[in-house]
């Protein structure tokens, strides 16, 4: 199997967690990586290089696609890094006969829903910024390649990935490293999937998102941000009418990139 964005925070966790579970692990990133096991094969490349991406996926049966621009940025940068990069990855998977592609989407595709509303993956998207828009496009590309070319695709709408919650909003959005790895494992192994979208979020008492789709993939999260509530600043939890995206939904967060 392969991991793009393998040098990133989530990529590093997935790499360490899956290394001993596969026969061969292909690591793709723009920065140089050093193999930590005879199983690991490293490719330093830019996902915008379609030929290099296709070559890297030779004899790969599954891909966890974590590479791309990780936060709000000017739209041309997001289109280049997230949308174009994902298209190259999916086209490479099609050409190389990859069995399963797991795409890293984001909770920020629905960040304008109010805190008081529980959101499911089948509800209309309401992105909270340009980054969210780029992840909507990532999901649309995944759906296209599933419908048109028969590729098996799982989109994980990743929550706030942290070792522990660091702000009140994380009481709803936190994704622990353990649960992150659990969702990825399930997305790779779930049988008979053509296209599926699930929120990857820990079992937070206050979570905004429905996790039934994740359970259908075969994983039920175990960690709850509530155990950290005493470590967080008092107050500051968003009101029911506030957008789930918090500061990401503010005009100021995007205006500086326009």
Active site residues: 131
Find, among 14, 116, 130, 153, the residue nearest to 78 by Cα.
Answer: 130
Find, among 201, 52, 43, the residue nearest to 121 by Cα.
Answer: 201
* Count of residues making up the chain: 258
Q: Look up residue 206 and give its two tokens.
A: 């206050």
Categorise residue 150: left if φ over 0, alpha if ψ from -120 to 50, beta otherwise.
Answer: left
On whether the CB atoms of residues 202 and 224 are closer than 8 A, the answer is yes
Strand arrangement, sheet containing 195-200: 40-44, 25-29, 2-4, 62-65, 100-106, 152-158, 195-200
């Amino acid at each position: 199997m392969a991991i793009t964005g393998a040098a990133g925070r989530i990529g590093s966790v997935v790499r360490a967690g899956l290394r001993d579970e596969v026969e061969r692990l292909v690591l793709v990133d723009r920065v140089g990586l050093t193999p930590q096991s005879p199983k690991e094969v490293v490719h330093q490349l830019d996902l915008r290089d379609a030929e290099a991406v296709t070559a890297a996926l030779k004899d790969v049966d599954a891909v966890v696609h974590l590479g791309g621009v990780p936060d709000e940025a000017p739209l041309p940068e997001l289109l280049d890094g997230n949308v174009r990069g994902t298209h190259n990855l999916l086209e490479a998977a099609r050409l190389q006969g990859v069995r399963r592609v797991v795409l890293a989407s984001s909770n920020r595709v629905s960040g304008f829903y109010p805190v008081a509303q529980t959101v499911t993956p089948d509800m209309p998207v309401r992105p909270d910024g340009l980054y969210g828009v780029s992840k909507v496009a990532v999901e649309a590309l995944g759906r296209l390649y599933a419908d048109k070319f028969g590729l098996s695709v799982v989109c994980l709408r990743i929550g706030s990935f942290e070792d522990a919650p660091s702000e009140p909003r994380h009481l709803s959005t936190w994704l622990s490293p353990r649960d992150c790895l659990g969702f990825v494992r399930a997305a790779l192994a779930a049988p008979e999937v053509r296209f599926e979208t699930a929120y990857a979020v820990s079992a937070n008492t206050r979570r905004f998102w429905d996790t039934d789709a994740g359970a259908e993939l075969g994983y039920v999260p175990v960690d709850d941000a509530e155990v950290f509530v005493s470590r967080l600043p008092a107050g500051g939890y968003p009101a029911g009418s506030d957008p789930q995206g918090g500061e990401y939904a503010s005009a100021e967060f995007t205006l500086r990139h326009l």
